[in-house]
Structure 1
């Protein structure tokens, strides 16, 4: 995955907000996943297709974080979601 990669949510997932956490359910795998506030924010940003760089730019506007750290962490998070079948690269 690269900064120019466009991602979106996998269409068959179910998601629910529980306090500041987000719980995702992949019915195809029968697996639940949980993420905290920033992960939930990323999830809301990819309701529609969005590039990794666009996600980072939005997070940089909302949170106090260095660009390099943000980009590294977002790429790692999205790659994990992709591996688990929770997001798809467009």
Structure 2
């Protein structure tokens, strides 16, 4: 997993938090996707920053988890929601440097 990626939410997805969990609805496919409390926190962080590194760093501070376990769990969730068409991952655009 490349932490230097940007996560973009699909414009076809709406989300609703219910009792600490989140239900996602893909309007295009009409499929529902449920997130538990940790998944909900990840979704919130994606909405706030869209930067995978920021999401990872915040979760590492908030949860008692090893970096390797967090990376594995985060990658698993991102693969699932990307496969469902709920998000897309793109290489960060900060690769270019200005040379004046």
TM-score (norm 1): 0.90
Q: How many residue pairs end up in the alignment?
A: 90
- Tell me, in whole angstroms, the C-alpha distance in 2 between the residues paired with 1:86 and 1:4: 19
Who wins on radius of gyration, i.e. which is larger? 2
- Tell me, in whole angstroms, the C-alpha distance in 1 between the residues paired with 2:44 and 2:4: 19
Gaps of 5+ in 1: none
- Tell me, in whole angstroms, the C-alpha distance in 2 between the residues paired with 1:88 and 1:48: 15
TM-score (norm 2): 0.81
- Tell me, in whole angstroms, the C-alpha distance in 1 between the residues paired with 2:51 and 2:79: 13
1:1-90 matches, cutoff 5 A: 1-90=1-90
Q: Which runs of 4+ in 1 moved over 3 A?
A: none
